[in-house]
Chain A
């Protein structure tokens, strides 16, 4: 599997480490959002057949976190973004 890194171009997937669902970036505030929201964040995952946005870490490369959109049926990768850019686009400071 080849991941088309937004800065470095196509790189072998063995250089990367997989973390999981990209929604992990949006951690709720454990004090103000309630125990229910935090429980969902910690334990509940969607397990979609088809497109899935997930976090990959370029450990043997530039150490960047990526949001990879991958089809779980075909393993086709349709989009790769820097997690930093995704977070900032959603209004976060970093």
Chain B
């Protein structure tokens, strides 16, 4: 047994990568803990009562930022919850305690690779990557979408900032797709 085990990022490095391509900045994030919550059938009241003041429950195709918990909608009665990894590493357990048996909670932290995209305007990049009508959706918009062959969650923070969650096992392919599209815009 090794004396010390070091966590690796989804790309296999010890530190997250940042790429700069023209006006586009791609930032890998691994400081976020993730879990999904799904309201159990017939438990809507208990569920929203438990969430009140703690976990935001945005409307369909939306996201809400909060502290420590932010969340985005993924399906009817189901949300992904984000929190800082440093303080909420055990996010699934915390949410299980909060919701009791009114929700099904699944740990998602290491299932996903996250890339934050920055640019003055991300529309030219995203229209090459996926079929989200980026210029016309509002800030806070969140949706599952397809980037090349990879099913991802896209969250529009604002016109110049987007979060992409892709499956961790496809992290390199997803980064490659973003880099290729960014280079083709130039």
Tell me if B75 and A15 are in contact (CB < 8 A).
no
| Residues 59-77 of A at the B interface (beta carbon under 8 Å) | 59-64
* In the complex with contacts A8-B60, A8-B61, A12-B131, A60-B145 CB distance below 8 A: yes
* Interface residue SS majority, chain A: loop
Residue contact B151 to A60, C-beta cutoff 8 Å: yes
Q: Is A78 an interface residue (CB 8 A)?
A: no
Cβ–Cβ contact B76 & A64, under 8 A:
yes
Kindly list chain B residues whose C-beta atoms are within 8 Å of the C-beta of A62: 60, 73-76, 144
**Cβ A61 vs Cβ B76 within 8 A:** no
Query: Which among A12, A14, A60 is the interface contact of B144 at CB below 8 angstroms?
Result: A60
**Chain B count of residues within 8 A CB distance of the other chain:** 13
Which of B74, B76, B146 contacts A15 (CB under 8 A)? B146
Query: How many Å lie between the Cα of A12 and that of B146 in the bound state?
Result: 12
B45 to chain A, nearest CB (A): 18
Using A7-B76, A94-B41 as known contacts, say yes or no to A61 and B131 having CB atoms under 8 A apart.
no
Interface of B is mostly: strand
Tell me whether A64 and B75 are in contact in the complex, defined as CB-CB below 8 angstroms, given that A7-B60, A15-B131 are known contacts.
yes
Alpha-carbon gap, A12 to B144, bound state (A) = 13
- Which chain A residue has the least Cβ–Cβ distance from B146? A60
| Chain B proximity of A59: nearest CB distance (Å) | 8
CA distance A12 to B132 in the complex (A): 10
Quick one: which of B144-177 are within 8 Å of A by CB? 144-146, 151
- Residues of A within 8 Å of B64, CB to CB, are none
> Chain A residues in contact with chain B, CB under 8 A?
7-9, 12, 14-15, 59-64, 82, 84, 94
Inter-chain pairs besides A14-B131, A62-B60, 17 sampled, C-beta below 8 Å: A7-B61, A7-B76, A8-B60, A8-B61, A8-B143, A12-B131, A15-B131, A60-B146, A60-B151, A61-B143, A62-B74, A62-B76, A62-B144, A63-B75, A64-B75, A84-B76, A94-B41
What are 14 A-B pairs at a CB distance below 8 A? A7-B61, A8-B60, A8-B61, A8-B143, A9-B61, A12-B131, A15-B146, A61-B143, A61-B144, A62-B76, A63-B75, A63-B144, A64-B75, A64-B76
Q: Which 5 residue pairs spanning A and B have beta carbons closest together?
A: A62-B75, A60-B146, A7-B60, A63-B75, A12-B131
